[in-house]
Amino acid sequence: MAGKSRRHRISDYKFSEYSHSKQGIAGFILGIISLAIFLVCTQLSYTSEGAASLPIGGAAIDALIIAAAGMTFSIKGYRDEDVYKMFPKMGIFTSGVSIMVWLGIIFAGLL
């Protein structure tokens, strides 16, 4: 045992073969970004007294596309084997909420 102590460091032990899904993390981050864009667009629309300009509407469509991509990544991450399901579940939730909010606002605007 030359060079090694009798005590092992915590990093020497691996209790599980699971890891966090990279796609699940990406989906969660995209869902958070979409919700952040929603908050910014809502604030900008409120300060302009409902007369939102074209760039704000474009940002809304972009955020809807970002949320759809987040949902896709999260579902793919959830289907992976040997991964923790926490981030994919959170990504599905945040992206799903974002999609529902954006579609609700878009359809309300069309009426």
pLDDT tens sequence across 71-97: 999 999 888 888 888 889 999 999 999
Contact (Cβ atoms closer than 8 angstroms) between residue 101 and residue 34: no
Break the chain into its structural domains and give their ranges.
Answer: 33-110
Contact (Cβ atoms closer than 8 angstroms) between residue 91 and residue 28: yes
The per-residue pLDDT for 6 is 56
The per-residue pLDDT for 91 is 93
- Quote the pTM value: 0.77
pLDDT tens sequence across 21-55: 888 899 999 999 999 998 998 888 888 877 777 88
